[in-house]
Structure 1
């Protein structure tokens, strides 16, 4: 019998706002109201073929997690009805299909896995609907939403995109300033078919990962002081788990025929309310300095974690710290000191547009794993990446990406992050459907 997981959801955090949206959409029955709603609508079909291989090197019972899957997602976005207040509707359909997996090597998070027999689903799907309204340069969305903010970045690192259920507001009415606020009550994980309560990420048993929150609320913004200087300030509360303040500065400065880039980020975190996840006490500050010249970009960075606990973030998302987009670990353990060096190259500089490479080395030490009774531990990851987007011919705009990481640590055998050689291959293609 086919093992199929399928669900369709479109719940809403604030029903009153959704009611306004549906009323507005109902008015679209007349040609005049439908003008902007229909004429400004567009849709995109995206195909993502994904192979992931985690080859464990630590002698554990499970030697590999290795799966291959096909993702299909369609995004349809309407325009807005005419008038001072414009209404619209977006729809997102997601489908994941298993191409290869087995119980002894499932668990890459490309596919949902049965807790009883460890078998991955043959397919899984999700439909998300989003009502929206716009006043001047302010847009409110409610229903299935995506957020890409420093404290909760919707993870793009698996087969299907991860989304949330809630209401968000984004305003650009003040020149140079983007204000964001929102109320999120559920998360749709990247390998899930439905919305679930949010929890705190807890690898290495940092916190009580079983504790959940009723909602996350946030407010903040990004301010572009000028073309070379940007500031970012946010406050987020994950009810009864933790609260977090984020500050960042991004600066570019022409220097000697190239550009010197500075990226300063900080996260200040404490427990919130009933503190159901346990104590949270962390200060995470980082600096990444780079130099861009020709097709090259060379960067050096340092991240310092202090306080009694690891850096918290919502399980299933990524934190936009110094270690974002690492493959095998998050480098956010308690007391961790992290260094990294990166070399990026864009081959457009030598007449090969679409081809790019990355070499990255990340090393963390002084790590404390309190739940595992381990101190002064180390981890390191060497990452290689090669990407190409075909520029012409019948396969134009097909993207090819190969990523490889070699990760090692001296953690206890029960740790979440294991010594591994990890490989990922992705083929992606997006095409407008109207």
Structure 2
């Protein structure tokens, strides 16, 4: 019932009131906002398929309450996040978009779903430890914000900032809460197109690494992660941004090296993924070109339910991470503020992958491609200032067999978001 869900959101408002008996900074530095998100998802499959479309429309509410810290060498705080999703339109024949939970047997989508996440935090000097509901946005564990409600983890997360120009990250996670779920589950490996044994589970994901600002223009990154008993991953990267002619050139290099961990219960893991994205900015224009190549015997593993932070991030229908795959992309972005329309932006992208090895789903030398168009607008003034509209359309094609997870489709996503700052 909707009333039950609203209780979860209302409960969050009680959390910060506890702090009034602690210390002034705990309350005075607190802030809260409510994200109101309307999401329409429409993926139409082409050619013969067991499901002609995945199409749903839903309304989401994300209440974020963040306290300050108590006074003293160790400051203590408490954050809360209340989530509520409401079904506007769906059916068993069109479920599975990731917007709404659905019954695995009947495929009947839920009318509504809700949850409450709590995070205890401790601050010492410039560093912070979080325990409880965790969101990480790192190359080895990127919590997905790409649907109605965000995906989260359960565990502990330390951000250590005591060294100049260096930020260290370390974490221990034991459960994942998927973006269309209200309960915590054991973690597994994303396995589209049957790349790995997706049924193998783990209750321990550990990571350590950091970012180092070598100079104002160059940042280096390294992370090591292990999903206990399934896979291990090392990430190396750099981002360099410097003037070139009348504009500036951004160079984004990412290397992932992955292998089996322990018993390797997800099956063989053997993959290296090297990629470079170059983006030239000239006034309101951005021109991008990138190349990514996977080598080894398997595709690249990542945590199921998260987003792999590779240079094809933001594509809608595929991540281009199949065994042996080579992909290239071109991208163009334009900021219409240069034409007197601040807040309006547009993007065009084309991604093509080939040399794919899927012996059970079509054989060797397979290919896939995706065309994307995106238009977004943020209202600049008035009572609804910062109301945002985002429209994305994609056309995806491949020559895999009909049993593949990724199938030919035309996809439309429409988001309307408004953030109401409560205090």
How does the TM-score come out when normalised to structure 1? Answer: 0.93
Match of 1:420 among 395, 409, 412: 409
Q: Distance in 2 between matches of 1:29 and 1:172?
A: 28
Partner of 1:204: helix, strand, or coil? helix
- Find the partner of 1:381 among 357, 360, 370: 370
Counterpart for residue 257 of structure 1: 246
Kindly state the Cα deviation for residue 116 of structure 1 after the two structures are TM-superposed: 1.6
- Name the counterpart of 1:146: 135
Contact residue 259 and residue 292 of structure 1 kept, 8 A: yes
- For residues 309 and 51 of structure 2, the distance between their equivalents in structure 1, rounded to whole angstroms, comes to 30
> Counterpart in 1 of 2:36?
47
Aligned partner of 1:362 in structure 2 is 351
Query: Contact conserved, 1:7 with 1:194, CA < 8 A, in 2?
Result: no
C-alpha distance in 2, partners of 1:111/1:266?
34
1:35 to 8, 24, 31: 24
Contact 1:6 1:124 in 2 (8 A): no
Contact 1:206/1:370, CA 8 A, preserved across alignment: no
Shift of 1:127: 0.4
How far did 1:58 drift?
2.2
Which of the residues 181, 187, 193 maps onto 1:204? Answer: 193
2:261 maps to: 272
Matched, 1:226 2:207: no
State the SS of the aligned residue for 2:329.
strand
Q: Distance in 1 between matches of 2:361 and 2:347?
A: 34
Q: Hey, what's the Cα distance between the residues in 2 that align with 1:59 and 1:116?
A: 23
Residue ranges of structure 2 left out of the alignment (5+ in a row): 9-14
Q: In the alignment, which residue of structure 2 is the partner of 1:111? A: 100
**Equivalent of 2:300 in 285, 295, 311:** 311
Q: Which residue of 2 aligns with 1:214?
A: 203
Alignment of 1:279-318 (within 5 A): 279-318=268-307
Partner Cα distance (1:387, 1:5) in 2: 30
Asked if 1:168 is matched to 2:160, the reply is no
Q: CA deviation at 1:403?
A: 0.1
Q: CA deviation at 1:149?
A: 0.3
Q: 2:236 is matched with which residue? A: 247
Which residue of the partner structure matches residue 122 of structure 1? 111
- Compute the RMSD of aligned alpha carbons: 1.8
Deviations 1:192-228 (A, max 9, x none): 0010000000011110000001210000001111221
Change (3 A) 1:29 1:352: closer
- The question of whether the paired residues in 1 share the 8 Å contact of 2:5 and 2:115 is answered with no
Q: 1:214 & 1:198 partners in 2: Cα distance? A: 6
User: CA contact under 8 A between 2:95 and 2:107: conserved in structure 1?
Assistant: yes
Paired positions, count: 415
Native 8 Å contact 1:7 1:193 kept in 2: no
Partner Cα separation in structure 2 for residue 130 and residue 152 of structure 1: 18
Indicate conservation of the 8 Å contact 1:138/1:171, yes or no: yes
Matches for 1:18-97 after TM superposition, within 5 Å: 30=21, 33-97=22-86
Is residue 340 from structure 1 mapped to residue 329 from structure 2 by the alignment?
yes
Q: Measure how far apart 1:60 and its partner are.
A: 1.2
Following the alignment from structure 1 to structure 2, what is the Cα–Cα distance between the partners of residues 214 and 397?
40
Mapped partners of 1:370, 1:96: distance in 2: 40
Q: Give SS of 1:349's match.
A: helix
Distance 2:187 2:301 in 1: 13
Consecutive unaligned residues of structure 1, counting only runs of 5 or more, are 9-21
* Secondary structure of the structure 2 residue equivalent to 1:212: coil
Q: 1:117: how far off?
A: 1.2
1:131 pairs with 2:100? no
Say whether 1:430 aligns with 2:419.
yes
For residue 372 of structure 1, report the CA deviation from its aligned partner: 2.8
Q: Deviations over 1:281-324 (max 9, x none)?
A: 00000001110011110000000000000000000001111111
- Which whole-Å CA distance do the structure 2 matches of 1:237 and 1:7 have between them? 37
Separation in 2, partners of 1:132, 1:298: 41
SS at match of 1:37: helix
Structure 1 segments (4+ residues) deviating >6 Å: 4-8
Structure 1 residue 349, shift from structure 2 partner: 2.2
- Partner Cα separation in structure 2 for residue 286 and residue 41 of structure 1: 41
Instruction: After TM superposition, give the deviation of residue 174 of structure 1 in Å.
Output: 1.1
Within the candidate set 81, 90, 102, 1:101 is matched to 90
SS at match of 1:82: coil
The CA deviation string for residues 95-117 of structure 1, in whole angstroms up to 9 with x for no partner, is: 00000001111111100011121
Residue 392 (structure 2) aligned to one of 391, 400, 403: 403
Does residue 180 of structure 1 match 2:169?
yes
